[in-house]
Chains A and B, each alone.
Chain A
Amino acid sequence: MTQITDLGVAALRDGIRTGEFSAREVADAFIVRVSQARQLNAFIVETPEHAIAAAREADAARAAGETLKPLAGVPIGMKDLFCTKGVQTTAASHMLEGFKPEYESTVSQKLWDAGAGMLGKLNLDQFAMGSSNETSYFGNVISPWRRQDGGNAPLAPGGSSGGSSSAISARLCPAATGTDTGGSIRQPAAFTGIAGIKPTYGRCSRWGVVAFASSLDQAGPMARDVRDCAIMLEAMAGFDAKDATSLQLDVPKWEQGLNPDLRGKKVGIPKEYRVDAMPGEIEALWQQGIDWLKDAGAEIVEVSLPHTKYALPAYYIIAPAEASSNLARYDGVRYGMRELPEGANLQEMYAATRAAGFGPEVQRRILIGTYVLSAGFYDAYYTQAQKVRTLIARDFERAWLDCDLLLTPTAPSAAFALGEKSADPLAMYLNDVFTVPSSLAGIPAMSVPGGLDKDGLPLGLQIIGKPLDEQGVLNASLAIEQRAGFTARPGQWW
């Protein structure tokens, strides 16, 4: 018999609606499972009472014969970058340890309004800066996956939404929120054999989400399959007057619109994504993806995105520049930690607080960002990067003349071992090579599991779409999902 915790969002939602099980049973099952998986370090804070409260409400509504909310009684995980009222919100930083916001982020509020409950706050790379979840002040998140080579090297769940990816693939929660600045939803999804979508910039409100790089940050869902992502995204997206970059558009019925028939669709294969030293297995999976999409009726065309190789360096100017400014507010005055050495003046207090509160990767990015914005360098770095960004966006616009969607690998490798890349920041940055261009262009992109590598680790395929065409992205992803038949799951070793 299937366990409740093996079910996804749609199955849980439907089961609660039909009375197959109660929402309380669902909440309890996941709460127990979360409590048994602390070795993974996926959660910074567990909030069983929150999940139970939502479950009670769902059960009461059902008992009263009311129409259930879209996510009634579905317990989820919340990346600890979303401010949650009265619940510690840290961005995985020492800086915010103990910080309890007096407000609820728009996205999390929308999820609660849709009836979801919260199992806890999920670990992440500190201030969402990282691709392996090794920069959290609260310790590394460990992927539930293990290589089938007999070694037990703990693997990275990807980052920055590594707590989310680890928790979902370990069945600690059916779905979770993620945020994606340069690939932080898609890369961890690929590393852990789950699905995740970064919607069009502006679909999900950024209000109440701890900012990393404002022009890039987008919230999105992570779940085990495409349908669950669609359901979650419908609840998370929507106009918010409190975010000046929020898109004033109705939320499409993405779940209802799911359709894996790709006849009449053209899918572009960007030749510049065939990077040097890409493992053969990833190359092969990409080809497999092409065949699956053909099988679903799509026409495959080769396209060119000539500025692709400049996306990463542009990103590593723009994101740190914005971050250096966004993180200036962490100064030990109004919230968060304060380090006040004996006799220190105000400016010394700032410097001591920020040295003690920010981890090394955050400090590194703040320094890079400060440097590229400083007098004399601004035009050469920042302005040039924003111009290159224009060219990258133009590349995509040109591609849309020839195709409707793009297919690429999600990441240039499968999950690596913790510690394997953390000594070399640049090597770590290169992990985002396939996800960053669509982030810079603000367009929707999704990772779905495609298969396993020779070590038995998941590999992801990425579908990139036109602005606002989340439906097209979800549909192509669904077509892949159906053909990939990805059922592998990590063994429960914890």
Chain B
Amino acid sequence: MSVDTATVKKVASLARIAITDADAERLAPELNNILGWIEQLGEVDTASVEPMTAVIPNKLRLRDDVVNDGDIREAVLANAPAGEHGFFTVPKVIE
């Protein structure tokens, strides 16, 4: 698998990271180098192996249905770069 600049741009767009053409040119060989090295994993026969789901045997604990959080609007909004009237605000979205 070889990553070209178009792929880099597509991936950067999926990841919502703005990159320039020059960035894409620089990143393509870099990512290729890393991905090429990663691809040695393909050598491993894993036909009968389950993918790992939990590193240490442990069961998912479930919470009781109790309201014990929330009602902390000030804390929730305290670090917001923009907000008014108790809302966060973002550039207007057209749906």
Asked if A and B are interacting partners, one says yes
Residues of A within 8 A of B (CB): 98-103, 200-202, 215, 241, 244-245, 247-248, 307, 309-310, 313-314, 316-317, 324, 328, 331-338, 340, 344-352, 354-355, 358, 363-364, 366-368, 370-372, 374, 377, 380-381, 383-391, 393, 425-426, 429, 440-442, 467-468
> Known interface pairs A99-B79, A351-B16. Does A367 touch B50 (Cβ–Cβ under 8 Å)?
no
In the assembled complex, the Cα of A11 lies from the Cα of B7 at a distance in Å of 57
Which residue of the partner chain, among A248, A314, A334, contacts B61 with CB atoms under 8 Å? A248
Tell me if B11 and A313 are in contact (CB < 8 A): no
> Known interface pairs A331-B16, A350-B16, A368-B31. Does A390 touch B78 (Cβ–Cβ under 8 Å)?
no
Chain B's nearest CB lies how many Å from the CB of A147? 29
Chain B's nearest CB lies how many Å from the CB of A485? 35
Instruction: Rank and list the top 9 A-B pairs by shortest CB-CB distance, nearest first.
Output: A442-B55, A386-B51, A335-B79, A387-B46, A102-B75, A338-B81, A351-B18, A355-B18, A350-B16
**Cβ of B42 < 8 Å from any Cβ of A?**
yes
> Known interface pairs A310-B40, A313-B41, A442-B56. Does A367 touch B17 (Cβ–Cβ under 8 Å)?
yes
Chain B's nearest CB lies how many Å from the CB of A275? 15
**Cβ of B19 < 8 Å from any Cβ of A?**
yes
Complex contacts, A391 vs chain B, CB 8 Å: 44, 46, 49
- Chain B residue with the shortest CB-CB distance to A442: B55
- Chain B residue with the shortest CB-CB distance to A249: B58
* A313, A349, A426 pick with most chain B CB within 10 angstroms: A313
Chain A's nearest CB lies how many Å from the CB of B11? 5
Which residue of the partner chain, among A328, A344, A374, contacts B91 with CB atoms under 8 Å? A344
In the assembled complex, the Cα of A390 lies from the Cα of B57 at a distance in Å of 12
In the assembled complex, the Cα of A316 lies from the Cα of B33 at a distance in Å of 12
Chain A proximity mask over B1-32: 1 for CB below 8 Å, otherwise 0: 10100011001111111110000000100110
Tell me if B80 and A374 are in contact (CB < 8 A): no
- Chain A residue with the shortest CB-CB distance to B36: A426
Chain B's nearest CB lies how many Å from the CB of A488? 35
Tell me if B31 and A380 are in contact (CB < 8 A): no
Residues of B within 8 A of A (CB): 1, 3, 7-8, 11-19, 27, 30-31, 33-35, 37-44, 46, 49-56, 58, 60-61, 63, 72, 75-76, 78-82, 88, 90-93
Tell me if A425 and B34 are in contact (CB < 8 A): yes
Complex contacts, A467 vs chain B, CB 8 Å: 56
Complex contacts, A333 vs chain B, CB 8 Å: 80-81, 88, 90
In the assembled complex, the Cα of A244 lies from the Cα of B42 at a distance in Å of 32
In the assembled complex, the Cα of A210 lies from the Cα of B39 at a distance in Å of 29
- Chain A residue with the shortest CB-CB distance to B8: A367
Chain B's nearest CB lies how many Å from the CB of A355? 4
Tell me if B46 and A384 are in contact (CB < 8 A): yes
In the assembled complex, the Cα of A309 lies from the Cα of B49 at a distance in Å of 18
Tell me if B46 and A336 are in contact (CB < 8 A): no
Chain B's nearest CB lies how many Å from the CB of A222? 22
In the assembled complex, the Cα of A446 lies from the Cα of B82 at a distance in Å of 44
Complex contacts, A370 vs chain B, CB 8 Å: 11, 14-15
Tell me if A332 and B46 are in contact (CB < 8 A): no
In the assembled complex, the Cα of A346 lies from the Cα of B82 at a distance in Å of 13
> Known interface pairs A244-B61, A333-B90. Does A368 touch B52 (Cβ–Cβ under 8 Å)?
no
Complex contacts, A215 vs chain B, CB 8 Å: 55
In the assembled complex, the Cα of A67 lies from the Cα of B80 at a distance in Å of 43
- Chain B residue with the shortest CB-CB distance to A202: B56
Complex contacts, B19 vs chain A, CB 8 Å: 355
- Chain A residue with the shortest CB-CB distance to B12: A367
Which residue of the partner chain, among A316, A388, A468, contacts B34 with CB atoms under 8 Å? A316
